[in-house]
Structure 1
């Protein structure tokens, strides 16, 4: 089924509410998503974005890409209330990120890489340390068709990279330090420190490149 028909079917079924999240192992998460190029029309694209936001909030999460609800299209939504302790916020560069939509996003590294635990709504129950640039130049289009280039740092940069990677058929585990993989329960019990330094020493992986 072509992408426009897939979106129309999804909107008809889940209009105004969250859609089910696709889980790792589904081929749509391994496709290179199709660029948004006017094929949906503004109204249908807007309804897709509403469903993405509803899905992100319901999960809850800090980002959802269209492939995660079965749509191989280069669009995602982001937003992070950053309800964490001051110690964690400082260590991870995590601060509130207002909700916004990214269409046809791209990014280029603008700083050295740093490793932190991250997870994914399409692979629930686990997290792993991923080395990512601490700062990126993020380019994307909004729903009004305006192209933006912003420098993102800290956790907002990590979220943008994670969701943009989804649009290239990449999941976070592809870039993870595999020896760092842990269940959410073990992470909470043993490795809940602001940085993964203790986990890196105990489990034998590189905290940073």
Structure 2
């Protein structure tokens, strides 16, 4: 499944038909608002969908995307985490029931790859490259053929290496500055001691 800001599939649940229609209605409204760049309105509709069906991971995921659009990365990560937990639970259940060859299993893996990919993007933009690499890696485990995710992971790894090198250089500079400061303090102490000894010598003479 191509990565998209909006999930097009909705979770089948044990809710009544009317409840399902309510869920889907709110999600559809949210999607329309999102498409029209009315992100706060989209958020409101996704929240209503989740309130009607707390297990509706598409609503949770789309809520996270609405937070990205509002430049709220921490809130987005939180919603993506909730989505991942639900999808990982479904994946585990399918594994335990030996349904790894089913279309449902492949769908869950594809959706997990999309959520992990977007999670990686948020961390990437936030310059949390270590977390970005981890998220991209999880995305590739669920969809090894995703070249875009692979490219992003390689880029994040390079940025992480540069970040670590810069941190090492900064740590080294801080250590040198600290040593220099200690030497200056020691020299000042020696100068004061010499001055004090000189003053005492003058008093004696």
TM range (shorter): under 0.3
Between Structure 1 and Structure 2, the one with more helix by share is 2
TM-score w.r.t. the length of structure 2 is 0.27
Q: State TM-score, norm by structure 1.
A: 0.26
Bigger radius of gyration among the two: 2
Higher share of residues assigned strand: 1
